[in-house]
Amino acid sequence: MIGPLIAKSLRDQRRVVFWWTAGLGAFIALYLAVYGSVRQSPETYGPAMIAKFPGPLRDLMGGLEDMTSGAGYLQTVVYQLFVPMLFIACATLLANRALAGPEETGTLELVVTLPVDRRRLVLARLAGLALALLGVAAVTLLVAWGMSAAEQNGVPFDRILAGHLGVLLLGLFFGTVALTVGAATGRRLVASAVVGVWVAAGYMVVTVGRSVAAISWLKWVSPFHYYAEGRPIYEGVPVGDYLVLAGATAVLALTAVLAFDRRDVGV
């Protein structure tokens, strides 16, 4: 049965999940709490001021939006860079604790000697990762919605939900990347390095790289393109883009199962 394996995975991660949820929730609450002050300072945060920023800096920050509007503030401060990056870091940490971490400490060898099918083990760790990230996303979504309502920024719940769903899918994608590399190599450092390089390159391609013709076509292999191109805070759920992220995650999950099933874990 895979259920007990998933339950154990969640128990092993509960403290990490709790603290990441608390930290991300506090970060979102803190930044959204100052929106009232930003809204009252159009000379500092309005379009005229933002236009004075150098073009490359605006590109790096996703174009920068009018932060005196509720949607512009949410997009620029919460959903463009900081929360997605923090969510990816959380997902990578959890993924490394699922397979590569236990293998490096020697505890995974004991698990695979038990009458547990390797494929079910990987699927259980993947399910545990997905459920943990879903829990973090659910709580922080409520924080973002509650603070948005308290500050009266005018962004409806369905748009915040659309943005948060994208964060969840992006985090789950990179978490699955880390778990897949960990399943194939058994090394946390390698998994983290692959995620780090892909994140940095992927983000640069869809921001600064959009004005560089030689690399702009690489946006199609950047998860950030499918996360942000549909502008969920402004237009709602971009179904096609999100399905691409979900499909790519499923392919990576299958790769993780096959890689771990065929590799010698030292037993």
pLDDT tens digits for range 148-167: 999 888 899 999 999 999 99
Output the six-digit token pair for 220. Answer: 């199609």
**Residue ranges covered by each domain of the chain:** 3-262
Query: DSSP for 208-235?
Result: GGGG-HHHHGGGGG-HHHHHHTT-HHHH
* pTM of the entire predicted model: 0.90
Q: Is 46 exposed, middle or buried (0-12, 13-18, 19+ CB in 10 A)?
A: middle
DSSP code for 116: -
Q: How far is it, in rounded angstroms, from Cα 110 to Cα 199?
A: 33
pLDDT tens digits for range 21-32: 999 999 999 999
More confident residue, 8 or 93: 93
Mean pLDDT in residue range 46-50: 63
Q: Half-sphere exposure (CA, 13 Å, Cβ side) for 41? A: 11
Express as a percent the part of the chain with pLDDT over 70.
87
pLDDT tens digits for range 103-117: 888 777 767 676 678
DSSP code for 187: -
Q: How far is it, in rounded angstroms, from Cα 41 to Cα 217?
A: 38
pLDDT tens digits for range 215-251: 778 888 999 999 988 889 999 999 999 999 999 999 9
Output the six-digit token pair for 150. Answer: 């308290």
Beta carbons within 10 angstroms of residue 113's beta carbon: 10
